[in-house]
Amino acid sequence: MGRAFHRHGFSASRVEEVMVRLAERLGLPLAQIFSTPTSIMAAFGPLGSQRSHLLRVEPGSVNLTQVSQLDRLAVAVLQGELAPIDGIARLREIEEHPSGYGRVATVGSFVAASGAVSVFLGGGWAELIVATVIGLATGLLALYAGPRPRVQRVFEPLVALMASAVAGVVARLWLPHSVYVSTLAGLIVLIPGFPLTVAVRELSTQHLASGTARFASATATFLGIGFGVALGDRLVALMLGERADLAAQPFPLWALPVAVAVAGLAFAVILQAERRDTVRIVVIGLVAVAAGRLGARFLGLELGAFMGALAVGVLGNLFSRLRNRPSLILIVPGILMLVPGTIGFRSISALLEAQVETGVNTLFRMLLTAVAIASGLLIADLVSPTRRLTG
């Protein structure tokens, strides 16, 4: 169960909590659990005769359907509704038969997310068109890389190279537009904004090993994406000449809630959410964006993310207690709507272009935004305490 929780997006604290509770249910004395992004260590018994175990695990991606199924399974075993041996069989069934959406829906969600985020970022029709093309290519490459581990290792830089090249070529030969906006929107699914937020949250709650490892992983992903974008832009410049990036012509304000709703539907598919949660995900996205923008008016752009995260955390925890389901179902897509990783992308881009002062300033803003979001979620746990596993 610890391995399954780890693989499908639960934080270190949640993995440790569920394993300790299950150990108590199974009669294993004095359980001590230590979870990191690449390993789980478990020890049982008094120190003088302790038995310890090590699991080597790989970081996975969030799958909200399996998050919900695993949570129900853990609760059923803890409450005695399901015998442990039957729980093992059910766990294998969940792992071997993951439910999900078809390939067409998955690729379509990449397209929809990219187009919607281009509206968030102030893009117009030109940026939306180019971002959706990049999103289509990203979705197809994601399907291709899925069963190929070697491609997965270079997936982010490869896709970033493709996105930058496509945006640059289109801007020079066919449709002038803001290359920056279209490239960032096309890559939004790959930007590790949520992992960065989880890393800062774990560091804040003294899960130092896990938080440090997640932070390093998110940083490496940012660097890989930044390198790919810089390489693609340079190759296009060598072939077609330098360009002057145009300012985007944004849509009217009424387009923003439409884009949020479309993005919510897209993230529901990308995160493999259960269909019954789709409307909830759209609503939490609207709340996150509204609270974030309202907070930005009074607290500033970065600290405005605090208000969005606080609203998402309170509603997510309330949903968890009322429905007896994981708060992650609403918190993950809600935080994604705040697009916390876009500032990190700007920082890496500026540093790669030798704009050191701008890059460092933007890097500080990224860290401030991540801390603001993590603080919002932590304070939400005080205002509306999260549900605890009971048995």
With bands split at pLDDT 50, 70 and 90, how would you rate the model's confidence at 390? Answer: low
Which of 72, 96, 120 is the last residue in one of the domains?
Answer: 96
Last residue of a domain, one of 48, 79, 96: 96
pLDDT band at 41 (very low <50, low <70, confident <90, very high): very high
Please state, in angstroms and as integers, the Cα–Cα distance from residue 91 to each residue in 72, 84, 256, 317, following that order: 11, 10, 41, 25
Q: Is the same domain home to 61 and 146?
A: no
Which region, left, alpha or beta, applies to residue 45 given φ > 0 means left and ψ of -120 to 50 means alpha? left
Collapse the DSSP code of 79 into the 3-class scheme (helix H, G, I; strand E, B; otherwise coil) and give the result. coil
Alpha helices in the chain (DSSP H): 2-7, 12-25, 64-78, 84-96, 103-120, 125-145, 149-153, 155-173, 179-186, 193-204, 208-240, 255-270, 278-299, 301-323, 328-336, 342-352, 356-383
Q: How much is the pLDDT for 376?
A: 87
pLDDT for position 346: 57
Q: Within this chain, do residues 26 and 149 fall inside the same structural domain, yes or no?
A: no
| Domain total of the chain | 2
Q: Is residue 391 part of a domain?
A: no
Q: Is 174 contained in some domain?
A: yes
130, 162: one domain: yes
Average pLDDT over residues 297-309: 80
Same-domain status, 146 and 282: yes
Give me the domain span that covers residue 6: 2-96
Mean of the per-residue pLDDT values of the chain:
85
The SS3 call for residue 154 is coil
Tell me, yes or no, whether 39 and 108 share the same domain.
Answer: no
Q: Are residues 84 and 129 in the same domain?
A: no
Closest-CA residue to 202 (of 379, 40, 14) = 14
* Res. 115 pLDDT band, cuts 50 70 90: very high
pLDDT, tens digit (0-9, with 9 covering 90-100), for 150-193:
888 888 899 999 999 999 999 888 888 888 888 888 888 888 77
SS3 at position 391: coil
d(CA 186, CA 167) in angstroms, rounded, equals 9
Q: Which residue has the tokens 């009971």?
A: 390
Q: Quick one: pLDDT at residue 130?
A: 94
Residues 206-247 pLDDT 10s: 888 888 888 888 888 888 888 888 888 889 989 888 766 677
Neighbours of 390 (CB within 10 A): 9
- The verdict on 143 and 166 lying in the same domain is yes
Distance separating the N- and C-terminal Cα atoms of the chain? 16
How many residues in the chain?
Answer: 391
Identify which of 192, 201, 208 has the alpha carbon closest to the alpha carbon of residue 381. 201
User: 226 to each of 136, 159, 260, how far by Cα in Å?
Assistant: 20, 11, 26
Closest CA to 11 of 390, 374, 280, 385: 374
* 12, part of any domain: yes
Does residue 355 share a domain with residue 211?
Answer: yes
If DSSP codes are grouped into helix, strand and coil, which group holds residue 330?
helix
* Burial annotation 185-197 (CB, 10 A radius, 16+ → b, else e): bbbbbbbbbbbbb
**The dihedral of CA 266, 269, 275, 277: what is its sign?**
negative
- What pLDDT score was predicted for residue 61? 78
Model pLDDT for residues 349-368, shown as the tens digit of each residue: 555 555 545 555 666 677 77
Q: Which residues of 17-28 are buried (b: 16+ CB within 10 A; e: fewer)?
A: bbbbbbbebeeb
Contacts of 176 (CB under 8 A, 6+ apart): 126, 246
- The residues pairing with 53 across neighbouring beta strands, listed in sequence order, are 42
Residue 163 makes CB contacts below 8 A (sequence gap 6+) with: 134, 137, 138, 183, 186, 187, 228, 229, 232
Domain boundary among 70, 96, 122: 96
Burial readout 295-332 (b: 16 or more C-beta within 10 A, e: otherwise)? bbeeeeebbbbbbbbbbbbbbbbbbbeeeebbbbbbbb
Looking at the structure, tell me whether residues 110 and 89 fall in a common domain. no
Residue 390 resides in a domain:
no
| pLDDT > 70 fraction of the chain, expressed in percent and rounded | 91
With pLDDT > 90 as the criterion, what percentage of the chain qualifies? 29
Residue 389 lies in a domain: no
In this structure, the answer to whether residues 23 and 108 fall within a common structural domain is no
The whole model's pTM is what? Answer: 0.86
User: Is 44's pLDDT higher than 80?
Assistant: yes
Q: Is 388 a domain residue?
A: no
Per-residue pLDDT tens over the stretch 326-351: 898 999 898 888 865 455 455 555 55
**Whether residue 90 has pLDDT greater than 90:** yes
Q: Which two tokens stand for residue 25?
A: 């249910």
- Is there a single domain that holds both residue 87 and residue 132? no
User: Cα-flanking dihedrals φ and ψ of residue 344, to 5°?
Assistant: -60, -40
For residues 228 and 241, what is the distance between their CA atoms, to the nearest angstrom? Answer: 19
Do both 214 and 358 map to the same domain? yes
- Write down the pLDDT at residue 99: 64
Residue 285 counted as domain residue:
yes
